[in-house]
Amino acid sequence: MKGNTGSAAVNTAMPDPMTDISTDSQRPRILRYYNIYRVILGFFLTILTSSSLQDGLLELNNSGLYEKASWFYLFINVLIALLLHQIRRDVHLFTLSVLDIILLGVIFYSAGGAGSGFGNLLIIPVAVGNILLHGRVGLLLPALASLAIIYLTFFLSLSNPATTQSYLQVGVIGCIYFAVALFVQRLSRRLRQSESLAQQQAASLASLEKINQLIIQRMRTGIMVIGNNHQVLLANEAAARMLGTDIARGSALNQLAPSLTQRLRQWQSNPSIRTQPFHNHSGGAEIMANFKPLISERDETLLIFLDDNTQVAQQAQQLKLASLGRLTASIAHEIRNPLGAISHAAQLLNESTVIDDQDKRLAQIIQQHSQRMNKVIETVLELSRRRASEPQLVDLGLWLEQFSESFSLINPASDNLELTIDQPGIMTRMDPGQLNQVLDNLCQNAFRYSGKAGSNRTIWLKLYLHPDSELPTLEIIDHGPGIAEEHVSHIFEPFYTTESSGTGLGLYISRELCESNQARLEYEPLVPRGSCMRITFAHPKRLV
């Protein structure tokens, strides 16, 4: 706003640059039309030099001078037409207008003065000159034209005293020159102001359009405009990043995002149905799509809003964890005391000398299951007491090297952990303590499914940037038998386990911890055998 105020103040003291630009842009066209007029006028004036036309139309005062002047006027106009592209400056335009006034004044003198009517021919040079030259320079042209016809009329009266000259008519013509000049200047000034205002508004609209485009491109919400044939008309950077692919204008939506196309068709069939979130590619963000029709006169387009469902899922996850924590804590406290009494009674019963071996075996079974239940209760209490995540900027490559060393020291030498880092400097934001808990749990599961304890077992950790989303990705790979297909959809559910000694909370807690740090934990079977647990971390610049 300050810049605009300064410009308005400057405009009162000096010419507006926008006005000069608009005038300069119109000069070539005005000069071209004006020169066409001058050439045509010169051609008709030379035709009048024919003796057959002179007898019936004109009574020339000096036919010889008229003929020379008209032919010279035509020659000059043709020459100027060839050099028109070099006439650009105000000096050139002023010289051209003065030359026109002089030559037409000579023709006016040779034709017999005001009675011939040729004085009206000077109106056009005066008018055009004031269009191109505004201000005092423009007013100089009608003054020169008026002086020219007045003095030429005076010379005509001296050279031919018998001919009466109408000085009143000449004075009226001179007044007409000034009136035309003032009118043209006023009109051209208004036109220039209107054109300048239009250019300023166009520049302002162009600037606003660029700002709008920049805002749309920088929005976190993905925006897509889809035509009638499900072709992409417009898409911002956020939409391309969420879908994990480059979006070109005119691309087919079903090729870019089949899942999005499916949800679009569901919405078109029943707009009241809430669409379900989806993943466009492996490791991609969970996307929620909303649709809005845009009806125009020619066609009907759709506006698609794509939102990253991670933050919404994270908030829901926090609420779920809070509710689960309160519930499990109350249940665990109620169960733990009776369970401790049962375990203690079974231990005392096992130490008794009056029971037989079969009863001792039953007492051992009670103790084993009591210990298992106590382990479940401890895990549940740990889940309920879990602190909120404190994300930090972590160099995953360096962190994994330290984790690998500490993990190898704690576990048997027969368990091998192979670490592969695609490139150094892969960063993310995550709570290091919670990451250690997740990775320790996943590695223990991978070793458990790789073979029996004590045998040579190997798992692989692979860190890389995902080629589509460019997000840090960590894979924990084992070549064990894998997970049966009927169990895959349930492995992240709480208390779901296929082992008699398992609690069914390890993978559930691992996924909960990942989601609280805006990371994703997914399972993918390997061919011909094996399992891959993939963690897709948040972008290092994202605030978790």
- Give the β-pairing of 531-536 and 232-235: unpaired
pLDDT at 199: 84
Which CATH number does the domain housing residue 271 bear? 3.30.450.20
**Residue ending a domain, choose from 384, 403, 436:** 384
- Residue 18: the pLDDT is 41
455 plus 425 within the same structural domain: yes
Please indicate, yes or no, if residue 214 is contained in any of the structural domains. no
Say how many C-beta atoms besides its own lie within 10 A of residue 317's C-beta.
16
List the structure tokens of 30: 């005005």
Asked if residue 447 and residue 350 are part of one domain, the reply reads no
Residue 109 falls inside a structural domain: yes
- Mean pLDDT within 286-307: 78
What pLDDT, in 10s, does the model give residues 87-129? Answer: 667 677 788 888 888 888 888 887 777 777 777 888 888 888 8
Residues 227 and 158 in one domain: no
């989806």: which residue's tokens?
278
Does residue 65 register a pLDDT over 80?
Answer: yes
Q: How many CB atoms within 10 Å of residue 243?
A: 25
Out of 289, 308, 327, pick the residue that ends a domain.
308
Query: Does some domain include residue 241?
Result: yes
Are residues 127 and 260 part of one domain? Answer: no
* pLDDT for residue 50: 67
What residues form DSSP beta bridges with 463? 421, 474
CB 236 within 8 A of CB 59: no
Residues 34 and 56 in one domain: yes
Examine the domain organization and report whether 344 and 440 are in the same domain: no
Average pLDDT over residues 507-522: 85
Q: What is the mean pLDDT of residues 203-222?
A: 79
Tell me the per-residue pLDDT of 524-540, one tens digit each, with 9 for 90 and over.
888 888 889 899 998 88
Nearest to 386 by CA among 544, 534, 535, 516: 516
Least confident of 111-125, 229-243, 463-477: 111-125
Please report which confidence band the pLDDT of residue 463 belongs to, taking 50, 70 and 90 as the band edges.
Answer: very high
Question: Does any domain span residue 268?
Answer: yes
Instruction: Indicate whether 297 pLDDT > 60.
Output: no
Return the DSSP state at 252: B
Number of neighbours of residue 72 by Cβ within 10 angstroms: 15
What distance in Å separates the CA atoms of residue 134 and residue 137, rounded to the nearest whole number? 6
Q: What is the mean pLDDT of residues 5-22?
A: 39
Residues 442 and 500 placed together within one structural domain of the fold: yes
- Asked if residue 421 and residue 371 are part of one domain, the reply reads no
Contacts for 196 with CB less than 8 Å, ≥ 6 apart = 16, 18, 19, 22
Mean pLDDT, rounded, for 30-35? 81
- Of the listed ranges 12-16, 285-289, 470-474, the least confidently predicted one is 12-16
Residues 107 and 242 in one domain: no
Q: Is residue 7 part of a domain?
A: no
CA atoms within 13 A on the CB side of 340: 7
- 280 within domain boundaries: yes
**Final residue of a structural domain among 260, 291, 308:** 308
Do residue 458 and residue 506 come from a single domain? yes
Pair (145, 81) in one structural domain? yes
How far apart are the C-alpha atoms of 362 and 128, rounded to whole Å? Answer: 118
Number of domains the chain is built from: 4
Looking at the domain assignment, is residue 327 inside a domain?
A: yes
Same domain (yes/no): 124, 28:
yes
Measuring CA to CA, how many Å separate 543 from each of 140, 539, 540? 71, 9, 8
Q: Is 323 exposed, middle or buried (0-12, 13-18, 19+ CB in 10 A)?
A: exposed
**Is 251 part of any domain?**
yes
Q: What residue has token string 């309160």?
A: 326
CATH number at residue 317: 1.10.287
**409-423: average pLDDT:** 85
Q: How many CB atoms lie within 10 A of CB 138?
A: 22
Which residue segment(s) compose the domain that 324 sits in? 312-384
CB 484 within 8 A of CB 491: no
**pLDDT for position 22:** 44
Query: Contact 34/68 with Cβ under 8 angstroms?
Result: no
User: pTM of the entire structure?
Assistant: 0.41
